[in-house]
Amino acid sequence: MTYFIRSHPLFIVVLAQLCGTSLWFSVNGVGLALIHDVGLTEKDLGWLTLTVQAGFITGTLFIATTGLADRIAASRIFAISCLAGALANASFVFVAAHQPFDLLLRFFTGLCLAGIYPLGMKLVIGWTPKYVGAALAWLVGMLTLGTALPHLLRGMTLGLPWQWTLLVASLLALLGGAAIFILGDGPHLPSSSTKVRLKDGLAALSERRFRAVAIGYFGHSWELYAMWTLIPFMVSREMGRLDAQGFSTPLISFSIIALGLMGCVGGGALSRHIGSLAVARLALGSSGLICLLYPLVAFLSPEVMLVLLFIWGLTVIADSPQLSALAAEAAPRERIGSTLAMLNAIGFALTIPSIALTTALWQWQGLWVVWWLLPGPALGLWAMHRLGRQR
């Protein structure tokens, strides 16, 4: 087993990323059950999602400002984070109806995810320094699939209590952490730094090229997680119009988000021919166009609206690995862990107002809330245009 793991490092890292990030939206996967069985509201679910994001931001800032991302082996941080996150996620089943304990556990889950996603990027760079854009496409694709996985688990366990979905996600995280612990760090990273300060993580922002990439990433972040949060609500609306509620809603929600894996991998393959910048532009433009059109065509049949959601799910994440590859290329090599962690922290901080705004307004504005996401792809396209001119 150990020989297999160390012989296929990229496969193991992306598979562990899938397992670890299944914790992220595990509560959203059973959101409709929590509304019916526990008495939560859409706004409550939004707050639970926000606390995960807040925990992730706090965690990434901590590992960036303390230098843990560059001082301690990435594989160790990843494995410990998976273990702690699995325990916090499983414990949620006991406090789902009890505030503030439910929020505290989701916040701690977000803290643990900060040791999974950014460190997963560092592990990929350490094991596969060539074709970073294509390799990160697989990693972010697995993040996407991990985000969607709770919806699939809920669809597969619909006849069982909703707690099973969270417990299975925790088990997967344990398996992912164990695999990375065995794998270890890659041979292509510089030696760990013993002195890393806050300004080291922010230093790359003084470079014009990195700053343009960062702005593009921030715009992408504003749109992405709010859109993923709204997916079950939008799918439920169309299923209601079709009189086809039940198991179909979580399975279709899973399919829409999981389709982002194909968008990431396809974009990664395309980036080897036309470059990461061109792929990022194409994805941002496509998702932004659908975001603009979706509420305008709400009168169309449910089947057409679902097709638009599938296309949106395909394109909304395809730019992420290419933006991460551009950021890794422009970041200082000796501070790449801290720089990427800081980039994640700022980007995910922007998801908090976008998620809060859209979930709070869903009951009053319906599909029109997606227009609040439009500034994200618009800002990203502007930044990518600037980056192209700099090149």
User: pLDDT tens across 321-380, in order?
Assistant: 888 888 877 776 666 666 777 787 888 889 889 988 998 888 888 899 999 999 999 999
pLDDT tens digit string along 141-187? Answer: 887 888 788 888 877 777 788 888 899 999 999 999 999 998 887 76
pLDDT in tens, 268-277: 888 888 888 8
Q: What is the pLDDT of residue 289?
A: 96
pLDDT digits over 332-349, tens only? 666 666 677 778 788 888
pLDDT exceeds cutoff 80 at 5: no
Q: What is the pLDDT, as a whole number, of residue 222? A: 94
Q: Residue 130 pLDDT > 80, yes or no?
A: no
Least confident of 182-186, 216-220, 237-241: 182-186
3-state secondary structure of 2: helix
pLDDT at residue 390 in the model? 62
What is residue 273's predicted lDDT score, i.e. its pLDDT? 84
Query: What pLDDT, on the 0 to 100 scale, is given for residue 284?
Result: 93
Rounded CA separation 64/352 (Å): 20
Percent of the chain with pLDDT over 70: 87
Closest CA to 28 of 139, 154, 161: 154
Taking phi over 0 as left and psi of -120 to 50 as alpha, with beta for the rest, 67 belongs to: left
The DSSP result for 273-312, as a single string, is: HH-HHHHHHHHHHHHHHHHHHGGGGTTS-HHHHHHHHHHH
Q: Is the pLDDT of residue 288 over 90?
A: yes
Inter-CA distances, 268 with 132, 215, 283, 386, Å:
9, 21, 12, 22
Cβ-based neighbour number of residue 157 at 10 Å: 18
Rounded Cα distance, 256 and 308, in Å:
10
Above 90 in pLDDT, residue 108?
Answer: yes
In terms of Cβ atoms closer than 10 Å to its own Cβ (0-12, 13-18, 19+), residue 199 is exposed
Angle at CA 365, nearest 5°, toward 359 and 367? 80
Residue 295 has pLDDT above 60, yes or no: yes
Q: Half-sphere exposure (CA, 13 Å, Cβ side) for 64?
A: 26
Find all residues with CB under 8 Å of 244, minimum gap 6, and list them.
Answer: none
**Position 391 confidence tier, pLDDT thresholds 50, 70, 90:** low
Q: How high is the pLDDT of residue 275?
A: 85
When the pLDDT of each residue in the chain is averaged and rounded to a whole number, the result is 84
The pTM of the full predicted model, rounded to 2 decimals, is: 0.76
pLDDT at residue number 86 = 96
Secondary structure class of 258 (helix, strand, coil) = helix
Which residue has better confidence, 42 or 130? Answer: 42
> pLDDT band at residue 14, thresholds of 50, 70 and 90?
confident
The top-scoring range by mean pLDDT among 63-67, 75-79, 81-85 is 81-85
Q: Is the per-residue pLDDT at 70 higher than 60?
A: yes
For 41, left (φ over 0), alpha (ψ -120 to 50), or beta?
Answer: beta
pLDDT digits (tens, 9 = 90+) for 307-317: 999 999 999 99
pLDDT for the residue numbered 332 = 67
Give the pLDDT confidence score for residue 315 in this predicted structure.
93
Rg (CA), the chain: 20
Q: Is the pLDDT of residue 243 over 90?
A: no
Q: If you count DSSP H runs as helices and E runs as strands, how many of each does the chain have, helices first?
A: 21, 0
- What DSSP state is assigned to residue 197? -
Does 82 score more than 90 pLDDT?
yes
More confident residue, 85 or 329: 85
312, 291 contact by CB (below 8 A): yes
